[in-house]
Amino acid sequence: MSAAAAAAEAEAEAMLNATAAAAAASTASSTSTEPAAAVSAAAATPAASSSTAPVAPAAAAAAAAPSIDLATGLVRGQKPKSLLAPGEERSFPGGAGKTYVAKRVPDGQSFTCTCTRWVYSKEPRSARTCAHLATLNGAAYESVRLAVAKETLPSVKNQGFASLKRMAETAEKRKEREVEEESWDTRHFGNGWNGVDDLGPRDAHGGMHLMLGDNYKLDDPKTRLADPTGFWMTEKLDGVRAWWNGSALYSRAGNCWNAPKWWTEKLPKDLHLDGELWIRRDAFEMTNGICQRSSKEAWKDVNFMAFDVTNVQMLYEERIKLLAERLPNGVLSPSAVQAREKGMHVCVLPMVQCRDNEHCREELHRVEEQGGEGLMLRKPKSKYECRGPGRSKVIWKVKSWYDAEAIVVGHSYGTEKNKRVMGNIIVQMENGRELEIGSGFTDEQRAMWEPKKGTVVRYRFQELLQDGTPRFPIFEGCPVDKFEAKDAIVRSTRLRASGINKPQYAVAKEANPYGSESSAKRRRY
């Protein structure tokens, strides 16, 4: 680091210390007369009753008004040294060639930074600062901004912040020590997400980093999970992943789902939900189509099946209990949801604690026989992890795979890093259908465009789509004892023929083909 940069950082650090001292003094003077009993009573008030509790007009007006003016950035008349528009960023050089990014969040009411001091601060997001923010906004501005932010923490509008900090301290004493820690560069977490950030698990580019489960194969000694005993089991849903931030619904890629307002009104405004948009079993294509289209009417069939909440620092069991108490439909199994004619249910999935590997196998078989995709295993007393592009170590997915053989009839170029080599092989199944397989190949195989035409290959896949095409096919190898294509006998084919997961109104329509116009409209999916 140059002498000029070091001097600038030292000056900024001094400004920061002055800012923190001034903010602490301001906050202490504003809260010293507040009765302790009133604070305790406010913290003990259930979240569900806070929405109906009477609020003084002055307090309500103060909570509703934005702390920072969106256009001018003013806070109680104090002007920032440099004005950033909501969502705008500013870069600062750091040591060892690093660059830190300070940002005004999209709602314009707080700032973030990727530096270590901001990321690891124990203060709520809106009440954090660092040397870079002090340099950007000025010491006087930061002093006023922090004081205003801390004054709003115990209010009804922000009832989560103060209580969450206390809950985090309590949970910290109980939770298990993490024996395996992965080091992630702070650039993967542009807003320093720590489980209570209202921006949610986003990266520096705005993409979502929801918790993803790794594959667990029963009786496979190579799997990273040695024993599922004690883990919580829930059904793995074949729907569309969604994250609710209290005002909007986002896909895993960070795109906003086109959910109508009358549909999202059932979702809680103060809880950020990680879940699945789901209609029924074996209806992934239908659900995905509704989410992609601009039509609002079809959302009446869509349910929100929550399996976690991301803006509270609680252990897994506590988070599920919170969802069961707060969600409109409480705890509902997928079978119970799809047995009802109408959708729009907002619920949390029931969970069963795994006794051993055999119990896990029995539960997997039970779910698959009902047309379910598989199971999710969750580590007990675990927190919500966000490890950037990686897979979490507290959640695992269990599902069956099918093996089949097909004959190579062609090849195609790949994209991005494989744009000059083989990207896919085109194979012909036993039923005559052609299929592209693009996963499971080594770099040498791609460079040599192997396996060659006419070769019998073995591949595995999860399920069949409605048109009979294998879903997520993966190349396994070239069996030397096979000379012709052979399709797998797939469970979903039998279940679809039996109508086990067909919606009740479709079954009624088959019995009465001259039904009403309203039933015909519902049948169009």
pLDDT of the residue at 511 = 35
User: Which band of pLDDT confidence, cut at 50, 70 and 90, is reported for residue 328?
Assistant: very high
User: Which band of pLDDT confidence, cut at 50, 70 and 90, is reported for residue 523?
Assistant: very low
- The arithmetic mean of pLDDT across residues 475-491, rounded, is 82
pLDDT of the residue at 462 = 76
- The arithmetic mean of pLDDT across residues 49-57, rounded, is 43
pLDDT of the residue at 206 = 47
Q: Which fold has domain 402-489?
A: OB fold (Dihydrolipoamide Acetyltransferase, E2P) (2.40.50)
Cα(454)–Cα(406) distance, rounded to whole angstroms? 10
- Name which of 169-173, 312-316, 457-461 the model is least confident about: 169-173
- Name which of 117-126, 281-290, 349-358, 496-505 the model is least confident about: 496-505
Cα 362-405-403 angle, rounded to 5 deg: 10
Cα(473)–Cα(424) distance, rounded to whole angstroms? 11
Considering the four listed CATH numbers 3.40.50.880, 3.40.50.300, 3.30.470.30, 3.10.105.10, the one that applies to the domain covering 214-393 is: 3.30.470.30
pLDDT of the residue at 500 = 54
pLDDT surpassing 50 at residue 11 = yes
pLDDT of the residue at 175 = 44
- Name which of 16-20, 160-164, 354-358, 521-525 the model is least confident about: 521-525
- Name which of 382-386, 468-472, 479-483 the model is least confident about: 479-483
More confident residue, 118 or 345: 345
Q: Which has the closest alpha carbon to 196: 167, 216, 225, 175?
A: 167
pLDDT surpassing 60 at residue 69 = yes
| C-alpha dist (Å) from residue 460 to 113, 212, 298, 474, 514 | 45, 22, 34, 5, 43
pLDDT of the residue at 226 = 72
Helix (H) or strand (E) holding 167: helix 159-174
**Hey, where are the domains in the chain?**
3-174, 214-393, 402-489
pLDDT of the residue at 165 = 52
pLDDT digits (tens, 9 = 90+) for 383-416: 888 655 567 788 998 888 788 999 999 999 998 8
Amino acid at 151: E
User: Which band of pLDDT confidence, cut at 50, 70 and 90, is reported for residue 434?
Assistant: very high
More confident residue, 514 or 444: 444
Q: Do domains 214-393 and 402-489 have the same CATH topology?
A: no
pLDDT of the residue at 370 = 84
pLDDT surpassing 50 at residue 454 = yes
pLDDT surpassing 90 at residue 251 = no
More confident residue, 103 or 214: 103
Query: pTM of the entire structure?
Result: 0.50
pLDDT surpassing 70 at residue 224 = no
- Residue 418 phi/psi, 5-degree rounding, is -105, 20
pLDDT surpassing 60 at residue 464 = yes
Cα(408)–Cα(90) distance, rounded to whole angstroms? 53
Average pLDDT, the chain: 75
pLDDT of the residue at 217 = 78
pLDDT of the residue at 509 = 36
